[in-house]
Structure 1
Amino acid sequence: MDYRKFLGKVESEVLPYFGGASVDAASRRLRVSTPPAPGWWRFDVQGRTATAREPAEPQGLDGLPLVRGHLWGSRLVREGAVAEPVKLLPEEEPPRLSPVRARRWHDGTLVFEGLDFEGEAEGSARLLLEEGRALAEVKAVPASLRAAFGYAVLEGASRALGIRFSPVEVRGQVLCVSEGGRPAAEARLRALATERDAHVREMDARQKALELQAELARLRSQPRHLERQAQGAVRVERALEAAGARLLDTRRLGSERLEVTFGFMGERFISIVEASTLQVVDAGICLAGSDREVTLESLPSVIREAIEDDVLVITRHV
């Protein structure tokens, strides 16, 4: 059979585009020739290249895993107080704490499907949130709504205190925050800030010594460092993919280090690694000074364990 006649074949496929350089079909990842605005598009697919042709209505969601929960900002809060980003929300912003349905797309991304019917609990929770009161007095509230309420209280306290947080850093305490209200949220955020400050002081001392070592190494290997940098980006992407993470961006820091931004478990992380070995210099999370015992490939599993043990503290925010 002459396969050359299929090389120019163009197929039409409706897919959700979330941003970036690629789009995921059921069985493969396609390179997007000219990135459109995020949304549902009909793509012309030729080989492994997809070209957006026109906006389209969602297709192919019915057979995908259904995920239900409550909306907190642009995240769906589901069982276990897990707060995942949900993509392609409607232009008209749903009310806070709305019950929502989403489908898990082929690459693991949650795609908005629709709103569920509300009960009395959602309206009561919104009123308490507006009045700055805790949720303890309301009965028969779904766990996902309690968690979404707790995240919303933490969000308000975060703006007031100027202390950033990620859901994975507070997941273990979010139900307590929903019961305790603003005081519980502020206490958790202050504790988080204290842990970060201690980590930063320790890392600053280490950083000065490492910078001196890196500069000496750069001077010794000046003729070869450009070639290693070019190879480094490819190795970073492969290491992260092998660990179940997705590379989002890299930035060169001098001749011997890379700043790596990657997505994992619905969050964004920033780490600094050695360009030649991918050994971690600064994990971007608190590892009690053990950052250099971890490689970029093993870092996602360390992050997963920290999330599951409710001890994750993020020290570098996007």
Structure 2
Amino acid sequence: MDYRKFLGKVESEVLPYFGGATVDAASRRLRVSTPPAPGWWRFDVQGRTATAREPAEPQGLDGLPLVRGHLWGSRLVREGAVAERVQLLPEEEPPRFSPMRARRWHDGTLVFEGLEFEGEAEGTARLMVEEGRTLAEVKAVPASLRAAFGYAVLEGVSGALGIRFAPAEVRGQVLSVAEQGRPAAEACLRRLAAGREAHVREMETRLRGQPRHPERQTQGVSRVERALESAGARLLATRRLGNERLEVTFGFMDERFISIVETETLQVVDAGICLAGSDRQVTLESLPSVIREAIQDDVLVITRHA
């Protein structure tokens, strides 16, 4: 049999493109030859290379897991106050706190499917946040809407105080913020800032006086990528540092993390999250599981932001 004729076979497939160098089909990841604008595209697929041919209508969503919740910015807030980024939102921005449904694509990404009918609760929540009030006395508000309201209050206070936050850092407090308003939001964010400052002081003390060595030329990017993928994370970028170290930026549980690791061993030097001085007990491969546990226990404090 002449297998060469199969090597040149071109197939057509409609897929969502979220950006980056790859696109995910049902059973495999494909390299994008020329990245198009994010959106739904009909791709010509040859081997493991996909070439965008033309925009297309969404296909293949019906059989995927359905996720419902309320919109906060570009995130869908669902049960458990989990706020996940949603890709390919409509060009016309939906109203704040819109009830929405999305589908979980094959790589775990949430893809917008459509808006749902609103009740009175969504309009009331919009009015309350605009007037600086809380949901303490408002009844029959779905938990996902209460959480989205809490995130919105935190977002406003964050801008005023200049203290950044990731949803996973404050997930355990958003319902209290929705009930108590700005004072609870300020207290939550100031605790985060204090934790970050303590971490920075600790890292400066620990690293002070350590000998510096010539920077190694190898980045070991493939090893970094394999270590993260085996833990369910995705490598976003690397940057060589002095003293035989790498800065690694990766995505995990819909958040972005920046860690510093030893180039040769991938032992963590600075996890980018507060580990109470235990950073060096962790490797890059085990770090995502530590992050997952911190999120589940509501103790995550991210100490490195881009």
Measured against the shorter chain, the TM-score band is: over 0.9
Aligned to 1:124: 124
With normalisation by structure 1, the TM-score equals: 0.95
1:93-138 Cα distance to aligned partner (Å, 9 max, x none): 0000000000000000000000000000000000000000011111
Shift of 1:3: 1.5
Please name the residue that 1:234 is paired with.
Answer: 222
Matched, 1:111 2:118: no
Specify the alignment match of 2:20 in structure 1.
Answer: 20
Secondary structure of residue in 2 paired with 1:183: helix
State whether structure 2 residue 263 is matched by structure 1 residue 275.
Answer: yes
Name the CA distance, whole Å, in 2 between partners of 1:242 and 1:133: 45
- Following TM superposition, the consecutive aligned residue runs of length 4 or more in structure 1 with deviations greater than 2 angstroms are none
Partner of 1:30: 30
Q: Percent identity, please.
A: 84
Q: Which amino acid is 1:5 matched to? A: K
Name the count of aligned residue pairs.
306
1:37: Cα distance to partner?
Answer: 0.7
Q: Identify the residue that residue 198 of structure 1 maps to in structure 2.
A: 198
Aligned to 1:276, what secondary structure does the other structure show? Answer: coil
Q: Which position in structure 1 is the counterpart of 2:253?
A: 265
Which stretches in structure 1 are left out of the alignment for 5+ residues?
A: none
Q: In structure 2, what is the equivalent of residue 42 of structure 1?
A: 42
Change in CA separation of 1:255 and 1:234 when aligned onto 2, cut-off 3 Å: farther
* Contiguous gaps of at least 5 residues in structure 2: none
* Alignment partners' CA distance in 1, 2:161 and 2:207: 28
Alignment of 1:156-175 (within 5 A): 156-175=156-175
Q: Which amino acid aligns with 1:86?
A: V
Select the residue among 268, 289, 297 that pairs with 1:301.
289
Is 1:155 the counterpart of 2:143? The answer is no
Measure the CA separation in 2 of the matches of 1:138 and 1:118: 16
Correspondence 1:245 to 2:239: no
Offset at residue 304 of structure 1 (A): 0.2
The one-letter amino acid of 1:243's match is: A
Per-residue deviation at 1:255? 5.3
| Alignment partner of 1:183 is 2:171 | no
Letter in 2 for 1:68: R
CA distance in 1, matches of 2:78, 2:197: 31
Secondary structure of 1:63's counterpart equals coil
Which stretch of structure 1 is more off in the superposition, 251-260 or 77-86? 251-260
1:302-317 to structure 2, matched below 5 A, reads: 302-317=290-305
Task: Flag the structure with higher helix content.
Answer: 1
Q: Secondary structure at the match of 1:295?
A: coil
Structure 1 position 51 matched with structure 2 position 51? yes
Aligned alpha-carbon RMSD (Å):
0.9
Provide the TM-score with structure 2 as the length reference: 0.98
Distance, in Å, in 2 between the alignment partners of 1:304 and 1:254 is 29
- Look up the SS of the partner of 2:107 in the other structure: coil
The 3-state SS of whatever aligns with 1:30 is strand
Superposition deviation, residue 2 in structure 1 = 2.1
Deviation at 1:191, TM superposition (A): 1.0
Corresponding position of 2:5 = 5
Q: Deviations over 1:117-168 (max 9, x none)?
A: 0000000000000000011111010000000000000000000000000000
1:61-106 deviation per Cα after TM superposition (whole angstroms, max 9, x unaligned): 0000000000000000000000000000000000000000000000
- Equivalent AA in structure 2 for residue 78 of structure 1: R
